[in-house]
Amino acid sequence: MIELIAQNPILAALIALVGLAIIFGALLGFAAEKFKVEGNPIVEQIDELLPQTQCGQCGFPGCRPYAESIANGDAINKCPPGGQATINAIASLLDVPAPELDEEHGQESPVRTVAYIREDECIGCTKCIQACPVDAILGAAKLMHTVIADECTGCDLCVEPCPVDCIDMLPVAETLTDWSWSIPKKPGQLIATDTRGELSHAHTQGGGA
């Protein structure tokens, strides 16, 4: 037998290759079982990118179900709270072209809003508490309710069930701590003879240089 193999190099090579294939195949098979990834990682990654407002504007009950649906091939432009930034991020994750936001599901709001209950008018019906997906509304039956502003995601799911319309979505005011410089106009867009007003406005912001 050994002699036969020694005599036929082709046979020797064949046996060596098949042997290697079997060894590595077994190794891979073992690794696939041993280091099996639980769940669907792509869903996790998409869910990470979604804004977690749980508003349901995409037509799914929460961000995770929408993430699952995207993983199964749904359109990625159904999330108005996330806006174009989220669409771009998901597009680059999935390596697909980034479409515009689907207006059918709502419009992107430029400022973040939080719910505010006009407490004098609240009748304590608890309907908004039941509607809140993140338990950000505090109150009890027949007692006044209030929104914990820090926990509110601005999904506005509580507005519609309120029987006395005492919930407003108020924009979050900018404070000194979260104020930021704005990105300047693209260079080359202005020439010296262009609006002088714009220039003098610009340098109240651009102390730097």
Partner 1 sequence: MSQTWVTPGGVHPPENKHQSLTQSIGVLPLPEKLVVPLNQHIGAPAIPCVEVGQKVLKGEVIAKAAGTVSIPMHAPSSGVVSAIEHRPIAHASGMLAPCIEITTDGEDRWIAHEGVDDYEHLAPRKLLEIIANAGISGMGGAGFPSAVKLNPGRQRPILTLIVNATECEPYITADDSAIRERAAEIVEGIKILSAILDHPDNIFIGIEDNKPEAIEALAPHVEGTGISVVSFPTKYPSGGEKQLIYILTGKEIPSGKLPADLGMVCINIGTTYAIKRAVVNGEPLISRVTTVTGDAVGVQRNYETLIGTPVSHLLAHSAFDEKACSRVIMGGPMMGFTLPSADVPIVKTTNCILAPSYAEIPDDEPAQPCIRCGMCAEACPVSLLPQQLFWYSQAQDHERLEAHNLFDCIECGACSYVCPSNIPLVQYYRASKSEIRKARAEKVKSDHARERFEFHKLRMEQAEREKEEKRTARREAALQASAAPSNPSSSVPSSSAADIIAAAQARAAAKQATPEQQQAQLERTIAAAEQRLIVAEQKLAEAIEKGSANQSVLSAAVENTRQKLEQAKAKLAELTA
Determine contact, residues 170/116, Cβ cutoff 8 Å: yes
Taking CB under 8 A as the criterion, which residues in 116-135 touch partner 1?
A: 132-135
Q: Quick one: how many helices (H) and strands (E) in the chain?
A: 7, 4
In whole angstroms, how close is the CB of 17 to partner 1 at the nearest point? 43
Determine contact, residues 160/55, Cβ cutoff 8 Å: no
β-bridge mates for residue 170, sequence order: 114
Sole binder of partner 1 in the list 45, 52, 109, 113 (CB under 8 A)? 52
In whole angstroms, how close is the CB of 169 to partner 1 at the nearest point? 16
In whole angstroms, how close is the CB of 46 to partner 1 at the nearest point? 12
Nearer to partner 1, 5 or 62 (CB): 62
Nearer to partner 1, 8 or 130 (CB): 130
- Regarding 141 and contact with partner 1 (CB under 8 A), the answer is no
C-alpha distance from residue 73 to each of 52, 68, 76, 83 (Å): 20, 9, 9, 19
Could you tell me whether strands 137-138 and 146-147 are parallel, antiparallel, or unpaired per DSSP bridges?
Answer: antiparallel
Which segment (16-24, 98-106, 120-128, 175-183) binds partner 1 by CB under 8 A?
175-183
- Regarding 204 and contact with partner 1 (CB under 8 A), the answer is yes
Q: Tell me if residue 32 falls in helix, strand or coil.
A: helix
Nearer to partner 1, 12 or 190 (CB): 190
Spell out the residues 6+ positions from residue 130 whose beta carbon is closer than 8 angstroms to its own: 161
Residues forming the site for partner 1 (CB under 8 A): 47, 50-54, 62-64, 132-136, 151, 153, 174-176, 178-188, 190-192, 194, 199-200, 202-209
